[in-house]
Structure 1
Amino acid sequence: MASQTPALPQSYAPGANSIFSDQSGFFSLDSNVPGLSKVILNQLNMKDYGEYRAAVEGKSKGVLFRNYKEMFQKMEETFKFCTGCNRLPEHLTEGQTLKRCVKCLNVYYCAKDCQKKDWPHHKKVCKILRLVAIDRLVEWLIFTGDLPIPTQKWSRSAADVKSWDDWLPIQEDLPQSLEKIISSANMATLWKNVSRTRPDVDDLRQSLWRIQSEFLSRVLTVGMAIQHFALDPYSKPLTVHLVGVSHNETMGARVTDYDELSHMFSGHQGIEIVMVGPEVVDGPIVRPPLRAFGPKHKVYISAYKSLYHQFWEDVIEKGDAAKPDIVVGFHPGFHANQGLVEGWLPTLLLLRDYNIPSFFTMYSEMELKYSLEILLELEVHIIDSGPNPFTSQKPEQVQACPNKPPVYCNSHYVQFQGLLPQQD
């Protein structure tokens, strides 16, 4: 299927000075946007996310770790630089080594002076960075298949489940599922091979839930967007386009990843999820979108590697895929630099001019503020915005600036449609 997906035209693939391209994950953290940094891949001698995933799964032909201990050690080395002066291990003087903060086990310092000078900043985030350090190791269980945890059918209507506080009580099997993973062989393998003490059971339980919440946050946000626009999945099939998707949404994605929507809207007429973005990672979801909708009561996922406006011209306008009932974007970050704004501009204008119901999420209130300013400059009609009740519970560290307060995936949203009404 991958061979049927056309490569991006050169005109749509900005260079290294822009993070809106095939390489955006490599540059995102260096622009203070969470994501897999190019630093990580460079340190691991890997060229792309496919190699990273293959190595983690033990399938790589070119880059192989001799054992799990070496793999986790290499991954930890990608976080090693002095938080005080930014020096890397290779730039230290002879006999000098980086020492890790003993409280958070997350940041490093080349000398006591650097740590002392940095403490006024670091003390504000030290406790939460301890959770980040646990999560980035426990996330390995996604690749082993232990996460995400299967969920149960809803015993309440979608209208009655307005936040995590409403969702958690209807997942009666969740505590038992978490305990099963905690006592699993893969969890034992993880902590046997990392260079730190295994956290206590409660820390592991909370970490598993945070990672589970990040996965479900995207799905429940799509369901919330459907409700915000009063779309009725029981009266007709719905087509949802996810725009600007990247490795975060597609690396390791499965065709069942959005089945929670069937729990949310039990008995729906069919929901199609089409993921479109220049960073789509090859996998089972990379298959053609539907021209005519398939079976009722099912969620169908497809993916297409392209910028959205290019996908619209090449696929939608030719009748090779259904037009969307709603478009959703997960923290597009078009506020981050000029390259992103330029990359997103044709898509934002398309959404505006075709009057398409749109729902975008952001990492933080600050990102929401800047995004609203851009949308207003484009005279987009903003309907609503605010905190997302289904925000991820997993803190995201900006690797290049560890002492910046962590942010959370899908923490805020903006709902918009069409052109701003003109005043008489």
Structure 2
Amino acid sequence: MSETKDYYEGKDKLWHDRWFEMFRKGKWMSNPDFSSTMSPEWDSYHPYSCNTCKRGGLQSLNLVRCSGCRVVKYCCRDHQKKDWPMHKSWCKAFSKVSDINDEADEKIDWTEWSRRQNETSRKIMNMVRGDLRHSINVQIAWVQPHCSRCFRSGRISGVDLVVCPSCNGVAVCKSCLGHETDTTWETFHNGDKQECESYLIYLCCSAMIVEHEKPVLRPSHTNCTETFCPKDWIDYFEKKGNDFGTWLDGPISALRIMAPIVCFLTDGLTLPMTIQMFLGELSLLKKSELSIHILGAEGQEFIATRAFLELGRLNPQLKRLDIVMVGPNLPNNYSHSYPQFVLSSEEAPCHLEGTVDHVSGLYHRCPAASGPVPDLFVAFNPGFQEPSHFVTWRSTLELVKTRTGVPLCITGFNFSEVHNDVKVLKGVGFQEKVPPTANPFRSTRPFLDPSREETDFIYNNKAYAIVQGVA
């Protein structure tokens, strides 16, 4: 039977309940002279934090907002200047299409809020292309400061927002608070502590990127002596949890009790570990040579290329592994060999032969599609159910369908997306092998998708299914 809920609902946490007390000791939280800023490449928007360093209420800082858009906030003039080259295009476009005088001073629901922000975003995108397609620019329009109860914008005169002191991620206006004097996390999250913690983790993951300039994405450092196919992250970390070196200040055994560390480790490893799970389900773990084609590869696959070394770490019987990533949004064409992925003396040598190839384009048009048939096709979060996506995917799916002996494994951000994708695949001639199921190796790092209801965090590869072409 397929599992429709989050795999980790009701299970023990992967981090300590008091992780934030340890996180407070870091520079982002405790250094009053903190000057690091986030690289635009990894940026995400937090409406109640400085748009440059992501600090704010948790550090008791008074923020000032941009006088142009009256949305984005900063902790100091210097950070506002540093962000202006990135912010100015969006700021000017937003100011043209969103007149604050046209915003009704009235209570609305999330559906109406969503409609308004979607319309605003559409107008902005029609005005300016290019860098405005970066995810942070979409997020700003959708999750700008607003009351989480009446959805009135914080830009409107007289709408005074009070921000949750625990997570710095949700606000309620003073009008909706009324005579409520107990402004603890319960006030802002209707008693849902998990929601509050998700907002806090989301912010602290950005904080770690600010401190270290990029996400902490890496495979483990040593090879297993026997094939290891864990059942979930709990099982994986019980064996490999202390096997990631000391790239931060302190031993990994102590650092790993913090939620952001676990979130980044799982975010980097979700791709190879999900594939390892597929190999186990399809009885492919005994093979000494494997070829895997990843279809529709995008940024997450490109960023986590080195993490595929983990498949070698877990499978000593595997001597050769060839992975071909193909996607129209990959930046360029090139190959990595596995010895290139071992970057420090702390890491064990890699026994694998083979390469990870990046191919920019559509799969049905690339040379790999007419070459040897792989052992496995994988599509991470493909979104077949979206009509505009399916138009691009159709020719590739028609080709993959003819490789009748090769399974196609797909993932999605939630169960319903995978269910709808499978429905589409059945409609074009695929047969279901494994129904939509909760993924035990989904990333634990929360992302706030601006097109969904604001409390609906998504997690990379949250659910999966396996299909195959019918002969």
Q: Settle same-fold status: TM greater than 0.5.
A: yes
Q: Deviations over 1:187-215 (max 9, x none)?
A: xxxxxxxxxxxxxx989712111111111
Change (3 A) 1:332 1:71: farther
2:161–2:174 contact (8 Å) kept in structure 1: no
Q: Are 2:115 and 1:53 equivalent residues in the alignment? A: no
Change (3 A) 1:287 1:155: closer
Equivalent in the alignment of 1:338: 387
Looking at structure 2, the residues matched to 165 and 127 of structure 1 have their Cα atoms a distance apart, in angstroms, of 20
What is the one-letter code of the residue matched to 1:167? Answer: Y
Q: Deviations over 1:135-186 (max 9, x none)?
A: 23324466447x2255143546435522222211222525874xx62559xx
Q: 1:269 aligns with which of 298, 315, 319?
A: 319
Q: Are 2:261 and 1:208 equivalent residues in the alignment? A: yes
TM-score in terms of structure 2 length: 0.58
What is the one-letter code of the residue matched to 1:287? Answer: Y
Can you give the 5+ residue segments of structure 2 that lack an aligned partner in the other structure? 1-38, 45-51, 53-75, 88-135, 179-186, 338-349
Q: Are 2:205 and 1:135 equivalent residues in the alignment? A: yes
1:182–1:204 contact (8 Å) kept in structure 2: no
Q: Deviations over 1:258-286 (max 9, x none)?
A: 1101111114221011111122135xxx4
SS in 2 for 1:259: helix
Q: Are 2:167 and 1:104 equivalent residues in the alignment? A: yes
2:335–2:355 contact (8 Å) kept in structure 1: no
Can you give the 5+ residue segments of structure 1 that lack an aligned partner in the other structure? 1-50, 59-64, 185-200
Kindly, what percent of the aligned residue pairs are identical? Answer: 20
Aligned residues: 325
Looking at structure 2, the residues matched to 219 and 141 of structure 1 have their Cα atoms a distance apart, in angstroms, of 26
Looking at structure 2, the residues matched to 161 and 71 of structure 1 have their Cα atoms a distance apart, in angstroms, of 45
Q: 1:407 aligns with which of 425, 436, 458?
A: 458
2:263–2:443 contact (8 Å) kept in structure 1: yes
What is the one-letter code of the residue matched to 1:53? Answer: E
Q: 2:353 aligns with which of 276, 280, 298?
A: 298
Of 100-109 and 269-278, more deviation after overlay is shown by 100-109
Equivalent in the alignment of 2:427: 377
Q: Deviations over 1:298-324 (max 9, x none)?
A: 35211111122222xx5532x5xx432
Equivalent in the alignment of 2:297: 245
TM-score in terms of structure 1 length: 0.64
SS in 1 for 2:308: coil
SS in 2 for 1:249: helix
Map 1:316-335 onto structure 2 (within 5 A).
316-317=369-370, 319=371, 322-335=372-385
Change (3 A) 1:120 1:375: farther
Task: Give the deviation of 1:133 after TM superposition.
Answer: 2.1
Q: What RMSD, in angstroms, separates the aligned Cα atoms of the two structures? A: 4.0
Q: Which runs of 4+ in 1 moved over 6 A?
A: 65-77, 119-122, 201-204
What is the one-letter code of the residue matched to 2:272? Answer: V
Looking at structure 1, the residues matched to 212 and 190 of structure 2 have their Cα atoms a distance apart, in angstroms, of 29
1:80–1:107 contact (8 Å) kept in structure 2: no
Equivalent in the alignment of 2:444: 393
Which structure ranks higher in relative contact order (CA pairs < 8 Å, sequence separation ≥ 6)? 1
Task: Give the deviation of 1:218 after TM superposition.
Answer: 0.7
Map 1:31-110 onto structure 2 (within 5 A).
52-53=40-41, 78=140, 80-82=144-146, 84=148, 91-93=155-157, 99-108=162-171
2:268–2:304 contact (8 Å) kept in structure 1: no
